[in-house]
């Protein structure tokens, strides 16, 4: 059930910092679908070597469907998606996106929302804040960045009576104390984290130390799949063998051979692309499959085979 893509025009590109650009996407042939805070879209990027599909959070006002806005950080170690957006895409260009999906929605039951952002992880919280300020929902935002490099939207984030903002500029030696943030919170508090893996782990660790159950924590875990070793994959039912390159995911290699699997996050969390395998070594990199299922299924969006054995899929 892959939703049909939406054609958009890049109507505006703005450099927010030396490494972050904001892209405004406007619909061409139909109205843009509505979305809730925390939603993301997949952007199809026709790079010279192959078409990449990268997921980006929508940061614009959910009440404004005249355009979507996303912000992209140039990743030095990336597989080319962010570089393509930064260096090749121009205003007026046409791109394809998927409709919005939400794997990071605010909990309707929380009475106070603690938003913790690291660098480009601020993007989903831009939409959160717009909606929470409009509805008068109690929240606080903690935003860590590197001044002069990843300080996107710092000026735009004005504190409000029901929405404190605290910023932490690492250039000035300002450090976020997660323990201080989480201590003394009311019983109705829930935490949302979007940022680098080490920030997520630090919040998880502190929360666990303070006795917070996991159900109080929400995080945006997806990111572009990490490169790995090249490997071979054999499709048992179709009797077909494919080579997966070092900087492409198994899902991308399957799609390049016109085998379309359902997918939402392309980052090992949503569980849509789960695929059974028959033999071979698997490097499981997802956050979805329980260990009990890892001996027979894998998530091809992030997980990989080993370079010295052939992975045999039940496809």
Partner 1 sequence: MPTTLKPIESYRNDFSFRNSPEAIKRFPFPFPEDQYMYSVNIEPATPGAPGSVYEHWFDIDEHYRSEVAERAQVLSRDPDRCLVMPHMQQAAWDTLEMLMTHLSQDYPQWFSLQRDGDQWLWINRALDLQQAFTFGDASSLPYEPLEYITRQIQGDFALLDQRENNLWMDAGMVTGPADWSLKFDAGMSFTEWHAPVPMAHQMGVFDRALKYLMNIQVDHPVRRLNWTMTINPRLDTSSETFHEWGHERSSVTAENLAKLVHLRVELQFLARLPRSNALMFSIRTYLISLEELVTQPQWACRLHRVLRDLPDELADYKGLSQYRPLVVEWLRQFDPEMAACSA
Partner 2 sequence: MSHAIPSTPRYTTLAEIPKAPRYLLALQSGDTEVARQLLQRLPYETRLWQPEEAAADVSQLNTLLQACHPGTHLCISGDETFIWNCRNQAQAAGLLDAEMSLIKAADGRQAYCVHCSQLQPISQDDEVTCQHCGVQLTIREHFSKRLGAYMGVCLNADQPYGER
Which residues form the interface with partner 2 (CB under 8 A)?
Answer: 110-111, 182-189, 210-216
Residues 146-185 as x/- pattern, contact with partner 1 by CB under 8 A: ----------------------------------------
84 binds, options partner 2, partner 1, none, Cβ within 5 to 8 A by partner type: none
Q: Quick one: tokens of 145?
A: 């960045």
In the bound state with partner 2, the residue whose beta carbon lies nearer, of 108 and 158, is: 108
In the bound state with partner 1, the residue whose beta carbon lies nearer, of 30 and 90, is: 30
69-108 exposure pattern, b = at least 16 Cβ within 10 A, e = fewer = bbbbbbbeebbbbbbbbbeebeeeeebbbbebbbbbebee
In the bound state with partner 1, the residue whose beta carbon lies nearer, of 62 and 119, is: 62
- Is 130 a residue that touches partner 1 (CB under 8 A)? no
| CA R_g for the chain | 20
CA 141 – CA 106 distance, rounded (Å): 13
The enclosing H or E element of 15 equals strand 6-17
CA 262 – CA 260 distance, rounded (Å): 7
185 binds, options partner 1, partner 2, none, Cβ within 5 to 8 A by partner type: partner 2
168 binds, options partner 1, partner 2, none, Cβ within 5 to 8 A by partner type: none
* Torsion, Cα of 193, 251, 262, 103 (10° steps): 0
105 binds, options partner 1, partner 2, none, Cβ within 5 to 8 A by partner type: partner 1
| Three-point CA angle 115, 117, 122, nearest 5° | 105
Applying CB under 8 A, the residues found at the interface with partner 1 are 1, 3, 33-36, 38-39, 62-63, 99-102, 105, 107-109, 135, 215, 264, 270-272
């Amino acid at each position: 059930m892959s939703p049909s893509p939406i054609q958009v025009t890049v109507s505006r590109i703005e450099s927010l910092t030396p490494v972050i650009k904001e892209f405004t996407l406007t619909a061409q042939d139909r109205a843009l679908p509505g979305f809730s805070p925390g939603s993301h879209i997949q952007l199809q990027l026709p790079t010279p070597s192959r078409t990449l599909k990268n997921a980006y959070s929508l940061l614009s006002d959910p009440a404004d469907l005249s355009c979507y806005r996303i912000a992209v950080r140039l990743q030095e170690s990336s597989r080319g998606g962010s570089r393509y957006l930064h260096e090749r895409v121009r205003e007026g260009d046409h791109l394809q996106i998927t409709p919005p999906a939400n794997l990071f929605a605010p909990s309707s039951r929380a009475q106070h929302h603690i938003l913790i952002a690291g660098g480009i992880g601020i993007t989903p919280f831009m939409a959160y804040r717009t909606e929470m300020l409009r509805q008068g929902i109690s929240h606080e935002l903690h935003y860590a960045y590197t001044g002069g490099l990843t300080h996107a939207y710092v000026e735009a984030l004005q504190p409000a009576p029901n929405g404190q903002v605290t910023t932490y500029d690492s250039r000035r030696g300002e450090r976020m104390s997660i323990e201080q943030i989480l201590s003394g919170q009311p019983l109705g508090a829930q935490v949302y984290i979007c940022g680098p893996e080490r920030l997520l782990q630090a919040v998880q660790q502190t929360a666990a130390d303070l006795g917070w159950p996991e159900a109080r924590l929400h995080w945006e875990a997806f990111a572009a799949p990490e490169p790995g070793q090249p490997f071979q994959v054999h499709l048992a039912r179709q009797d077909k063998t494919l080579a997966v390159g070092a900087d492409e995911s198994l899902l991308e290699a399957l799609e390049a051979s016109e085998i379309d699997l359902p997918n939402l996050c392309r980052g090992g969390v949503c569980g849509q692309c789960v695929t059974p395998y028959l033999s071979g070594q698997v490097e499981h990199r997802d956050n979805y499959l329980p260990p009990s299922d890892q001996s027979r299924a894998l998530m091809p969006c992030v997980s990989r085979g080993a370079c010295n054995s052939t992975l045999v899929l039940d496809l």
